[in-house]
Amino acid sequence: MEIVHDPRETRRHLDSLRSAGRTVGFAPTMGALHDGHRSLMETASARCDVGVASIFVNPLQFAPDEDLDSYPRTLDADARLAEEAGIDVLFVPSARDMYPEPIWTTVSLRVVTEPWEGADRPTHFAGVATVVTKLFNIVGPCAAFFGEKDFQQLAMIRRMVFDLNQPVDVVGMPTIREPDGLAMSSRNRRLVPAHRREASVLHRALTKGAGTIESGERDPAAVEAVIRAELGTTKHAEDPDYVAVVDANSLAVPESLRGEIRLLTAVRFGNVRLIDNIGVSVPA
């Protein structure tokens, strides 16, 4: 595995592989890698000739009061995991490599970024859309693999690629979970033991909500109430930031549930904010 820091060198190298007929699979990350990232990297390497991953903790997607400085940085362990997962090229730029000058150009999307995660974090998604556009420009035409765990991010990136004709195939990958159902996340390591024990409630509550849809419920408010009731059964979970039963493409709440539906929630345990979601298909 080669580790490359320079954006232009990365693009030159990958362009020359593409001109020799090789396909590129790309897994962008912020490091602190876990088995969820491993699955993105393994799939990128298995489905494409060249597996590329990036590690960059992007300051643009953190608000001043968010955890940029305390975000875990574990480069040696990350590089080992990426190599084991079959990655050929690991792109690890510094903040100076990515933002040599204060940035004047940003990418932001309407509608899909406005509710849920966007409501409390007004600059977050523009920070993600901007860095992902830069990464796509640096890596070049590729298939890019994103976890469904950050479902709103995935929906936004799909729409951005569509709206801007970016030469990328976006592939959503299923959430990887701990044995008790907790979605893997770099933030889980900050949960104190009592909170970690209760944190599987997110998946349990969403699964319960999905069960009511599978049993015929079509009113999003009724499904939301079931999820909220289950989230309320633990001692340490705070009131959820949101519980949403939405159309999987627009992320808007429909009048009645049909087609591809996504159940989303965000819940704080102490100072750790967890998000999770699951999908349900409602036949026409």
| Active site amino acids | 37
CB of 172 to ligand PAF, least distance (A): 12
Closest CB to ligand PAF among 153 and 277?
A: 153
**Token pair listed for 57:** 């903790």
Closest CB to ligand PAF among 43 and 153?
A: 153
Which residue from 132, 138, 182, 206 is in contact with ligand PAF, where contact means CB under 6 A?
Answer: 132
CA atoms within 13 A on the CB side of 68: 13
Which residue from 41, 131, 183, 201 is in contact with ligand PAF, where contact means CB under 6 A?
Answer: 131
CB of 277 to ligand PAF, least distance (A): 14
Closest CB to ligand PAF among 125 and 269?
A: 125
Closest CB to ligand PAF among 85 and 128?
A: 128
CB of 176 to ligand PAF, least distance (A): 14
DSSP 187: G
Residues 6+ apart with CB under 8 A from 161: 136, 168, 170
CB of 106 to ligand PAF, least distance (A): 14
SS3 content of the chain, % helix, strand, coil (to 5): 40, 20, 40
Closest CB to ligand PAF among 43 and 58?
A: 58
The interface region with ligand PAF, picked from 18-26, 85-93, 127-135, 247-255 by CB under 6 A, is 127-135
**Interactions with ligand PAF, residue window 25-44 (CB under 6 A):** 28-30
Closest CB to ligand PAF among 128 and 246?
A: 128
Residue given tokens 């994103």 in the structure block: 146
CB of 281 to ligand PAF, least distance (A): 25
Q: DSSP string covering 226-283, please?
A: HHHHHHTTSSSBPPPSEEEEEETTT-PPPSS--EEEEEEEEEEETTEEEEEEEEEEE-
**Token pair listed for 176:** 């990887």
**Interactions with ligand PAF, residue window 58-97 (CB under 6 A):** 58, 61
CB of 61 to ligand PAF, least distance (A): 6
Q: Do 151 and 124 meet the contact criterion of CB atoms below 8 Å apart? A: no
DSSP 116: T
Can you tell me the distance from the alpha carbon of 149 to that of 176, in angstroms, rounded to the nearest whole number? 8
Which residue from 150, 217, 224, 230 is in contact with ligand PAF, where contact means CB under 6 A?
Answer: 150
The interface region with ligand PAF, picked from 22-30, 45-53, 115-123, 169-177 by CB under 6 A, is 22-30
Which residue from 40, 128, 202, 210 is in contact with ligand PAF, where contact means CB under 6 A?
Answer: 128
Residue given tokens 């962008």 in the structure block: 28
Backbone φ, ψ for residue 102 (5° rounding):
-55, 135
Cβ neighbours of 31 (radius 10 Å): 22
Q: Do 45 and 87 meet the contact criterion of CB atoms below 8 Å apart? A: yes
Q: Which residues bind ligand PAF (CB under 6 A)?
A: 28-30, 58, 61, 128, 131-132, 150, 153
